[in-house]
A and B are shown apart, each in its own frame.
Chain A
Amino acid sequence: MDFLKRLFGPRVELDADSRRRLDAWRALPAEDASAPLGAARYVVVDVETTGLDLHHDDLIAIGACAVAGGRVVLADSFEVVLRQERVSDKDNILVHGIGGEAQREGIEPVEALLRFLEYLGKTPLVAFHVGFDETMIKRAIRRHLGFDFRHPWLDLAYVMPGLLPEYARKHRALDDWTRHFDIGNYARHSALADALATAQLFLAARPLANARKFDSYHALRELEKAERWAARSG
């Protein structure tokens, strides 16, 4: 039963208004991933969770900011804390700094996730170590909104070594790369602050990408694929 549940998702009963909002989002047309990097809008995202276990830990917060016209648009940013049924343990709280009270007082998950989708639209996503952020968001959406969130993601953890191969061995974590570009972080391990740092990394990647003719989101995804393949076979 468990594996069937995981395959089809749990049956979720949404109220009429939420259903309408979700349908409206799903009806949005997909965005063109081949537009020049400096022209389109991208959303850079980071999440905070109760732990690092992809199957059992829960999503606590989503932070996101938009890059449009080659610039981080500060006002076009998003932050939400999801209301938790059980508050994460102390060690975990020390990592992201979202205390027990803030977790209990968060936004009800259906509403929080709908707000995220409405902020996002069909804009392509960017993250560092997509595997983690994507899985966490996907699981939460499947559980609370009852559908499979399939969305374009670009992983800077593969794109950056592809653009700067000479640093591929040295730089692995987000911190390594932000240090490389001297990017500050006003509050490490806050979802929004980490999203901003990641967005700045994405800005710094653009001139490098352009120089090597990876001049669209689509082209960078191809680079990412090649890097993934190289990493697996290397």
Chain B
Amino acid sequence: MSAPNALIQATVDHLARFVPFDGMAPEHLAWLAERLKLAYYGKGETLLAPAHGLVQKLFIIKQGVVQGDQGDAGAWLELNEGESFPLGALLSSRAAISSFRAQTDVFAYELAAADFHELLRHSTPFHDFCTRRLATLLEKSQRGIQASYATSSSEQQSLRSPLSSIARRKPVTCAPDTPLRSALETIRDSGISSIVVVEAEGDIQRPVGVFTVRDLIGRVILPGIDLATPIRAVMTPEPMALPASAHAFEAALMMAKHGFRHVLVMDHGSLSGVVSEKDLFSLQRVGVTQISTAIRGANALDQLQLAAEDIRQLGHNMMAQGVAAEQLTQILSTLNDILTQRVIELECTAAECRHAFCWLSFGSEGRLEQTLATDQDNGIIFVAADGETPEQARAALLPLAERINRALDACGFPLCKGGIMAMNPKWCLSLDEWKATFSRWIDSGDPESLLNASIFFDFRALHGRAELATQLREWLMGRTTTTPRFLHQMAANALRNRPPLGLVRDFVVSSEGEHANTLDLKLNGTTPFVDAARLFALASGVGATGTAARLRAAGPKLRIASAEIEAWISAFFFIQMLRLRGQHEENLAGQVMDNRIDPDQLNDLDRRILKEAFRQARKVQSRLSMDYKV
């Protein structure tokens, strides 16, 4: 044998164009190339099948297309130049689950299993890729998104940072019995705007309250409080706190939700820092708290319209900064919630509403998964006044509901084309009427009922009497967990919608009409995850409505491995991110925002991740079909 020659070098150069080889050390790549054999498989020939038994080698496609088949599930996976298989079977030393067939003439590099395992030991990037390939691809993609937006280069930190890295200042504290005068002196001397009131027990500092300079006028000066008064009498009790491991965006969310400007940071039950609005502002151009404060202070529709515009702008800015989809959709949904709440408050005051009711949101809003383009899905649970029939209560509430729906429309949340809105008498119901409606859907299981269930069962209380929604949720859980036939029908319905991996090129796209050559990322991409998560939640009595929260809560109950759950969640959020990015770009180009993308427009890496994400969608669906025998 000769020393490494041009052929080995050419092979190294070729492999280095693809993940994960692009991240591997040159000596490991050369080591790999020297151990490769190049094989030919004619069109239609099988490279690998479950019947071949224990997997003997890794395949890396040099040229051509390989098609993965999984028994009765049919052909669904296409692998192209630079892609490797079967990683799972090699890692766990078993037979392959899928069979792999040459869809065109294929040349594939082959690496013996023993060499594969040795390379795993030597090369960390290779190991990482094989064991957590989706996560690895996602990290690369995330870096790519951030790099592609030059404007974000000054943003060193992100909302993803843990609070421990942001709350650098040591908190200024005092005991509950400290006289106001001495506390104020401390505030002045340390040049800060707030003081944390703590009870010390050994090394543990337990926060019991916060006092800020802003509280001074209203609580001390105007009431003429004696400065000898202990601070406990004027502090804000039960301050908001988060663990040090929480992310910056959680603090932002908490401040936005509750209108506070400070969040305490706790480490093992003891106060370790304070994060202020200002600390988070430096992470962001448009402030989350700024917008939420503006919304809370708004007294007229035109102010709310401006705030709604700010929310959309914030969404686009965060998109540009590469904020991850999970955080972005949560922040957008939270701000939209606050806006909707304020709209309802203003309209209720104007209409002098006497009825107790709970405003519900459904669909993506119910799941806290709103994207940049979103319409209304809402309804009302009301309590009829004494001696009043539900019809009378409804008649009284509908004009108010209509005003709210129209105000939301004016704020940029278009009226729902399907009429799923509180102003529709069908969706403005008493608790008993909701139960009767839900019961009808659960018992009939016809396509329309199943479709309704998939929208309405994601309900969440947004304003008013939240306990009504809680009661409805508890009642619903009791029904669905004990009605297997309904779950079975929901599963069958969910499986009708297949991820578009297929035989024509990489993805199955519609070839004609208005949407030629595009994929619907909502229908074919996120919906399988959303549907499965809903089903898992309904089956295992999980009350959460968010897809990730549902999967995380239902996973252990259904004995699904947490690694698998996390892979599904990553895949779900990757597709969400592509939806958001698509909408962001359409918005920049002045086009109508939708959920369609042309897969040919994606870069290679994103195409691969999207394929991997669809593969995960398939896995979720196989789980459903296994669990429900459909």
Contacts and interface: CB of A to CB of B under 8 A. Distances in A.
Given A181-B105, A187-B10, A73 B37 contact: yes
Given A71-B110, A183-B63, A192 B42 contact: no
Contacts of B40: 200, 203-204, 206-207
A79 B64 contact: no
A74 interface: yes
Nearest to B106: A182
Contacts of A190: 6
A123 to B, nearest CB: 13
A65 B11 CA distance: 13
A135 B35 CA distance: 33
B8 interface: yes
Interface in A193-219: 193, 196, 199-200, 203-204, 206-207
Nearest to B13: A186
A1 interface: no
A71 B37 CA distance: 6
A79 B7 contact: yes
B1 interface: yes
B440 to A, nearest CB: 59
B348 interface: no
Nearest to B2: A78
A200 B107 CA distance: 8
Nearest to A66: B1
B104 interface: yes
B14 A186 contact: yes
A181 B42 CA distance: 9
A184 interface: yes
Given A70-B39, A183-B63, A75 B107 contact: no
A204 B63 CA distance: 13
A193 B6 contact: yes
Majority-rule SS of A interface residues: mixed
A37 interface: no
Contacts of B13: 186
B34 interface: yes
B175 interface: no
A156 interface: no
Interface in A56-111: 63, 65, 69-79
A183 B107 contact: yes
Contacts of A199: 38
A65 B38 CA distance: 11
Contacts, number: 78
Nearest to B34: A75
Contacts of A75: 1, 8, 33-36
Contacts of B14: 186
Nearest to A203: B40
A70 B107 CA distance: 12
Give the interface size class of chain B.
Answer: 20 to 34
Majority-rule SS of B interface residues: mixed
A214 B62 CA distance: 27
A72 B7 CA distance: 11
Contact of A72 (B1, B6, B8, B37): B37
Contacts of A187: 6, 10
Nearest to B10: A186
A65 B7 contact: yes
Nearest to B62: A184
A193 B11 CA distance: 11
B511 interface: no
Given A79-B7, A182-B105, A204-B105, A71 B39 contact: yes
A182 B5 contact: no
A219 B34 CA distance: 32
A71 B62 CA distance: 13
Given A71-B110, A76-B1, A182 B8 contact: no
A132 interface: no
A119 interface: yes
B42 A182 contact: no
B326 interface: no
Contacts of A193: 6-7, 10
B275 to A, nearest CB: 55
B45 interface: yes
Contacts of A78: 2, 5
Contact of A77 (B7, B45, B110): B7
Nearest to A119: B2
Interface in B97-139: 104-105, 107, 109-110
Contacts of A119: 2
A73 B5 CA distance: 13
Contacts of B6: 63, 79, 187, 190, 192-193
A111 B147 CA distance: 53
Given A74-B33, A183-B107, A200-B107, A192 B38 contact: no
- Most chain B CB within a 10 A radius of its CB, from A69, A75, A78, A186: A75
Contacts of A207: 40, 42, 45
B8 A74 contact: yes
B139 to A, nearest CB: 30
Interface in B1-54: 1-2, 5-8, 10-11, 13-14, 33-40, 42, 45
B526 to A, nearest CB: 36
B208 to A, nearest CB: 70
Contacts of A73: 37
B34 A74 contact: yes
Contacts of B10: 186-187, 193, 196
Given A71-B110, A200-B40, A206-B40, A79 B5 contact: yes
A208 to B, nearest CB: 8
A56 B524 CA distance: 67
A76 B42 CA distance: 24
Given A71-B110, A79-B2, A192 B104 contact: no
A72 B2 contact: no
Contacts of A200: 38, 40, 107
Interface in B47-89: 62-64
Contacts of B2: 77-79, 119
Contact of A192 (B7, B37, B39, B63): B7
A199 B34 CA distance: 17
A203 B105 CA distance: 11
A187 to B, nearest CB: 7
Contacts of A69: 37
Contacts of B5: 77-79, 192
Contacts of B107: 183, 200, 203
A3 B13 CA distance: 49
Contacts of A71: 37-39, 110
A206 B107 CA distance: 13
Interface string A145-173: 00000000000000000000000000000
Contact of A74 (B38, B42, B104, B105): B38
B56 to A, nearest CB: 12
Interface of B: 1-2, 5-8, 10-11, 13-14, 33-40, 42, 45, 62-64, 104-105, 107, 109-110
Given A69-B37, A183-B63, 12 more contacts: A72-B38, A74-B8, A75-B35, A78-B2, A79-B6, A79-B7, A182-B64, A182-B104, A193-B10, A196-B7, A196-B38, A204-B105
10 contacts: A72-B38, A74-B33, A75-B8, A75-B35, A182-B63, A182-B104, A184-B62, A199-B38, A200-B107, A204-B105
Which 9 pairs, one residue from A and one from B, show the smallest C-beta to C-beta distance? A203-B40, A71-B37, A72-B38, A186-B10, A75-B34, A77-B7, A71-B39, A79-B5, A207-B42
